[in-house]
Amino acid sequence: MVSGEAALDRAAAEQAQPWSAAKAAAEVVAASGFPTQLALGALLMAAGLRPFGADGQLSMSYLAVLMPADTFLLLALVVWRIRAGGERVRDVLVGARSWRREAWLGAGLIPAVLGGVVIVMLVLRTAWPALHNVDANPFQALIRSPLDALLVGVLVVITGGLKEEVQRAFVLHRFGQHLGGARLGLVLYSLVFGAGHVIQGYDVAIVTMLLGLVWGAMFLWRRSAVAPSVSHAGFNAAQVLQFVVFGG
């Protein structure tokens, strides 16, 4: 009788696996940011906001609405799906480690990340100069005053340090549960992460892909999104400071 019940349990589990994988895949796609940004972008355009101004540059007013709205929507989506899966948000995103220690770890890694990016960018631009197909970062053109720099800094810190690392943690968590393993998810999502930055240049997209691998590996190592979030936020803030001080 016991063996019969066990067989039924195994059969039920096997039948549930395809559904669990399909549901996890749908969650990953939804949390990737592309569906939410497309939906919000359509709403903003319907309201009269355009992503580019008459000069062909990115619109500050458009980004100032889109980026916080997308961050809020993505965070709400991730929290909803974690709870819907019967898990605690803290367990998935923060883990059992001290968030203070993780924050210090992330801060300590910022110089290493910055140095690594400089080295890789120099190698790419020396070995494959054609990859540098965008002369100036589109976000750099938005900075025309100290207030612009402050606003861009806040936007990229919130979007990169918070939204993108919560996304990454959730996606890797779901891959680890139902979609072939967290390592596979790390590779695939890093490619997607890099592709999402092609507007800034092919070289920047490659560097961004590598950064995604680093921050994703950090999450898998620590099982906490705190250190990657702090590292990512610090890196983005340093980039804005670079735009202000050195002009690129």
Run of H or E residues at 175: helix 165-178
User: What is the per-residue pLDDT for 8?
Assistant: 25
Residue 134: what pLDDT?
Answer: 85
State the burial class of residue 8 (Cβ atoms within 10 Å of its Cβ: 0-12, 13-18, 19+).
exposed
**Whether pLDDT at 2 is above 60:** no
* pLDDT (average), residues 188-204: 91
Is residue 237 within 8 A of residue 153, CB to CB? The reply is yes
Distance, CA of 105 to CA of 197 (rounded, Å): 26
Higher pLDDT among residues 8 and 124, named by residue: 124
pLDDT of residue 248: 56
pLDDT given for residue 17 in this prediction: 63
User: How many Cα atoms sit within 13 Å of 32 on the Cβ side?
Assistant: 22
Give the Cα separation of 27 and 216 in Å (integer).
18
Stretch 133-146: mean pLDDT: 82
Measured between alpha carbons, how far is 237 from 62 in angstroms, rounded to an integer? 20
Q: Is the pLDDT of residue 5 over 70?
A: no
Q: pTM, whole model, 2 decimals?
A: 0.88
